[in-house]
Structure 1
Amino acid sequence: MTDIDRAWWKEAVVYQIYPRSFKDSDGDGMGDIPGIIEKVDYLADLGVDCVWLNPVYESPGVDNGYDISDYRAIMHEFGTMADWEALRDALHERGIRLIMDLVVNHTSDEHAWFVDARSATDSEHRDYYWWREGRDPEQTTLDPDDYDTPIGVDEVPPNDWESFFGGPAWTYDDRTGEWYLHLFDERMPDLNWETPSLREDLFEMMEWWLDHGIDGFRMDVINLISKPEGLPDGEDPTAIVNGSDKFVNGPRVHEYLSELHDRVLAGTDSMTVGEMAELSIDEAKRYVGDDGDGMSMVFTFDHMRLDMTDAGRWSHRESSPRELKETMTHWQEGLADEGWNSLFLNNHDEPRQVSRFGDVEQYRRESAKLLATLLHTLRGTPYIYQGEELGMTNYPFESLDEIRDVDTIKNVRAAQESGRLDESDVMDLVRYRTRDNARTPMQWNDAEHAGFTDGNPWMPVNPNKENINAEDARDDPNSIWHYYRELIDLRSERDVVVYGDYDLRLRDHESLWVYTRTLETDDERDSLLVVLNFASDETAFDPPADLAGRDADVLVSNYDTAVDAVEADTLRPWEARVYDLH
């Protein structure tokens, strides 16, 4: 028998909003908070329980808001604090919770702390960041030609660590003659969590937002906040970037996050989800739950790396449905008794899920519905990225000049300069991989700019807006949008969808993903069977022997399906069925 350990965030469906691209209210071409308020009823009609709001803090916008210059102010392009409070209230009035992005691995170089830190070596906030003297090139294997230093500086960075955005993770600052660390863009210096007063300032900032009525935090790259003593060179040649074997899941990260939980979150009903690079199941268990650091769940990325080679994100290989099944099942089974899964196939940093995992050419609608069925019937909390519920697709970029994403631009240029990426392959890879695929404006209708803005949009609108938009989807009872509503309703009505055990069947099948969800309580035993055909061809389904012939109704399907038992059948391309087992 299962004793249900209930939590609102386990039962919730989270909708992620990327404010720049959601809805523009004032015609300046950039989405804003009043625009989100205009669409709160849309969110309520869809049935979501929680909104994750990407950063809206004051920022120069080097990395679209992940470079924060003031944690307690709203970026003026997005609106005012009064606008934010109105959004919070509008969501809460409709029973929708709100979590904010927490970015505390780094700040903007325009943050007051860093402005002070770089003013002098003995400044008040100097130790809020990582500053080090350079090294003599003769004492290291680093090549001085790889580093852009001012004329007359005869040294190289303190270590060989690389930035996730390409190039060295250190920049020389001639104001004080030292180098500072940035695991991302050079205008995003890393915070030094070893400094107690920094941690205190960050905790006070988090409390301030909780006092303003938010319901939790999505914690950006949170397992990078601890760096090892001495900042040694990387030792793993297979690391995602040089040095990541040293600074991912660093030596004091659990100490810091346990302190954060005890200081800020303990005793609250807050949801926390940590974005985690390079994470194993055993490591994940240390972050989540009462026996770990207290996080609700973590974002893991094993399943998002299946289509990459050893060269990392800026590479491409064909992956198979079986690999996706095996990888996600690994996490379903690994966190079954300890922890909780976050369920997603796209977000603001990833391409559109139907373009990546589905079939946009022949079966966009069917494959989008199948992917939705998967995410909403696995064990964990589903995340919907804006436009996913419409089946929005990747953008047909023709030139690197159309790209806005600093991560894409820097990594592609670095790959070209190293000779790893051939010029003829650049745009194919960019179209497949760039984060800008997720950042084109939300397609509200088939008007000139898809109803996103009356001005010139900051990113181009996908030309398929005429066929893919919210207005048409809401008018069509067979649309992807209405299918999402059906799945969300099922999840809210049946505890088995949230809390039931996951049991994979037909484990070795190349294209079928078949599993049961079972929940046994003192009152009853509830069971569902989920059958997914990850193929653009018809596929024979022979049910497991213990289920063959069992009485069942189909609760949800992306095709017209009428059956009264689990029987051998031919599944249509990208067919998804959820059986209610009797």
Structure 2
Amino acid sequence: MSAVQEKWWKNSIVYQIYPASFKDSNGDGIGDVPGIISQLDYIASLGVDVIWICPMYDSPQHDMGYDVSDYEKVYPPYGTVEDMETLIAACHSRGLRIILDLVVNHTSHEHKWFQESRSSKTSPKRDWYIWKPAKYGANGNRSPPNNWRSVFGGSAWEWDEATQEYYLHLFCVEQPDLNWENTEVRQAVYTSAMEFWLKKGVDGFRVDTVNMYSKDPAYADAPITSPGSDTQVAFSLFCNGPRIHEYMREMNDVLAKYDAMTVGELPSTPTLEGVLRYVSAAEKQLNMVFSFDTVDLGMGKDYKFLTKLRNWTLPELKTVTRRGQDIFNGTDGWTTVFIENHDQARSVSRFGSDKTPELREASAKMLAMFQCTLSGTQFVYQGQEIGMVNAPEDWAFDEYKDIDSTNYYHMVREMSNNDPAQLETAMQALQHLARDHARLPMQWSAEANAGFSPESSAKPWMRAHDNHTEINVRAQESDSSSVLSFWKKMMRLRKEYAEFFVFGTFELLDEQHGEVFSYLKRSKEGSVLVALNFSEVPQDFEKPVGELKLLVSSAEESERAELKPFEGRIYTILN
């Protein structure tokens, strides 16, 4: 099948938008839907095909909208359902498609379904969530049903005094898990969370925590990996449960009526076979998934922040990249390409260098080349295209807003008895890996508030990065050598050479080299060579046998024997 005949979403580039931080249209300090509408021409100018809107549903915002209190309403500071209808139409008129975040493993504790569920043990909706009785020890002390740890730390169970049972929350206390075993729950999800928006014209969904809907029905204790803790990491017991593929096929039956695209968030699924069960076209479940091998590099096992800084090697990055690209080899599966999203620190700070402006720009361009030459559907996160970086090291803890960050810092403070050295280590970890970095306001200009909010407006909900005067859209749009201009160039090249960069097979070269990442992308048309210097010093690299023609360099258009610091090159192989 030719690239032209493939499904529309395969050769698409998706631009992810975090509504609170993208563009504030009314001066209240919070981004909104009219703000997104005002920047659609900019988004279209990038050369992307689809926008993905992070949760804009009504929510008390305990987890930035991933705690939905009403799927059929919009969070008032973001706008209205009518604003969303305008956005959908405005996208379509520009040839853009639009997908939404589908958050249906859990709801907010303020959702009417949960309010009814917790009203009494005899409520018709009691079984819509996961309730369990307490355990009692020999001394009569009450404890949760099992030792599962919440993704955000602490027990995954919360005691409900009124009905004298625990409810499950794999995330924060305010996010009770829905009981997908209940047929009524699934039908309500399909109607309220999916078809309500599909009928309004949305083109698909990014499906949040897609493999957590089916839990191990025994609700057994997780293995002890943290001997000193009351709670244990339990992903093996609440991911990829026994009925998950049944649920995915049922969900797909609804989506197929609308030719809707799906991309699932798929943590803790380490094997190719496990991933293929979700994305094989024959299985009729999901079009593609986000696997987290790349973005999880260097994170701690028990707590992601409990690690050394930059605790990864280039051979490790090569291995996980190959694993993601191998989904194509001899299968009917599909994959995604991303190194940033709303849950990750900025890629330049993690995988490149933000030490100096020169290294920052060089590594941002090199990472753009890396991402644009890998096969699959590409996802670009707002600000990635201008090389936004992590918050400065001298920012105080009170600038960090995310529940994942604040929970960890408070846990360290409590467990260390306010030890200054341990708190400093915790802050270093936050500065490197916190989700907050992706949530700083989009840097539109050198003006106050980075052009995110009008100058005379309320203080933005998160502080704009100090470097917005030098890193911003307005400055880069008129600069042909900017990171933004290079991203646009690479996205055009990706489309022009789609048979290699979108649909081609991946062959890793020189796997153990610690500084240079080189690989071939092959198609029936031939081969191209990609060589990327992931270091701050010049590097020699071994060219394969054959005549090479330089297609593009991220540094300058000239032949040299060595790669500059953080330079990337693409060669066509002529014979």
The match for 1:324 is: 317
Say which SS state the counterpart of residue 10 (structure 1) adopts: coil
Q: CA distance change for structure 1 residues 4 and 469 in 2, over 3 Å: closer, same or farther?
A: closer
Equivalent residues of 2:149, 2:156 under 8 A apart: yes
Matched, 1:570 2:562: yes
1:387-416 alpha-carbon deviations (Å, 9 max, x no partner): 000100101253222211111111232244
1:220-267 alpha-carbon deviations (Å, 9 max, x no partner): 1111111122311112628995322211111111111111112x1224
> After TM superposition, where is structure 1 displaced by more than 4 Å over at least 4 residues in a row?
1-5, 238-241
Say which SS state the counterpart of residue 138 (structure 2) adopts: helix
The match for 2:52 is: 52
Aligned residues: 556
The match for 1:482 is: 485
Q: How does 1:441-520 map to 2 (within 5 A)?
A: 441-454=441-454, 455=457, 456-496=459-499, 497-520=501-524
| Counterpart code for 2:520 | T
Q: Which of residues 554, 557, 565 is equivalent to 1:558?
A: 554
1:394-451 alpha-carbon deviations (Å, 9 max, x no partner): 0125322221111111123224434499223121111111111110100000011111
The match for 1:149 is: none
1:350-369 alpha-carbon deviations (Å, 9 max, x no partner): 10000110011131011001
Say which SS state the counterpart of residue 323 (structure 1) adopts: helix
Equivalent residues of 1:59, 1:69 under 8 A apart: yes
1:55-95 alpha-carbon deviations (Å, 9 max, x no partner): 00000110010000000111111001111111111111111
- CA distance in 1 between counterparts of 2:91 and 2:284 reads 29
Equivalent residues of 1:105, 1:221 under 8 A apart: yes
Q: CA distance change for structure 1 residues 398 and 315 in 2, over 3 Å: closer, same or farther?
A: same
Equivalent residues of 1:164, 1:241 under 8 A apart: no
The match for 1:234 is: 222
Say which SS state the counterpart of residue 431 (structure 1) adopts: helix
| Amino-acid identity (%) | 40
- CA distance in 2 between counterparts of 1:119 and 1:154 reads 25
| Counterpart code for 2:212 | L
Say which SS state the counterpart of residue 135 (structure 2) adopts: coil
1:93-115 alpha-carbon deviations (Å, 9 max, x no partner): 11111010000000000000001
Deviation at 1:306, TM superposition (A): 1.9
The match for 1:346 is: 340
TM-score, reference length from structure 2: 0.93
| Counterpart code for 1:7 | K
The match for 1:405 is: 402
Note the aligned Cα RMSD (angstroms).
2.0
Question: Mean Cα displacement is larger for which, 570-579 or 232-241?
Answer: 232-241
Equivalent residues of 1:389, 1:484 under 8 A apart: yes
The match for 1:146 is: none
- CA distance in 1 between counterparts of 2:462 and 2:198 reads 33
The match for 2:99 is: 99
Equivalent residues of 1:4, 1:499 under 8 A apart: no
1:511-568 alpha-carbon deviations (Å, 9 max, x no partner): 1111111211xxxx24221111111111112212x33xx042x2222122235xxxx8
| Counterpart code for 2:386 | L
- CA distance in 1 between counterparts of 2:351 and 2:554 reads 17
The match for 2:201 is: 213
TM-score, reference length from structure 1: 0.92
Equivalent residues of 2:198, 2:258 under 8 A apart: no
- CA distance in 2 between counterparts of 1:424 and 1:470 reads 34
Deviation at 1:268, TM superposition (A): 3.5
| Counterpart code for 1:303 | T
The match for 1:272 is: 262
The match for 1:148 is: none
Q: CA distance change for structure 1 residues 449 and 83 in 2, over 3 Å: closer, same or farther?
A: same
The match for 1:175 is: 162
- CA distance in 2 between counterparts of 1:242 and 1:325 reads 27
| Counterpart code for 1:77 | P
- CA distance in 1 between counterparts of 2:125 and 2:136 reads 27
Equivalent residues of 1:542, 1:569 under 8 A apart: no
5+ residue gaps, structure 2, are none
Deviation at 1:26, TM superposition (A): 0.4
- CA distance in 2 between counterparts of 1:471 and 1:265 reads 39
- CA distance in 2 between counterparts of 1:556 and 1:30 reads 39
Deviation at 1:311, TM superposition (A): 3.4
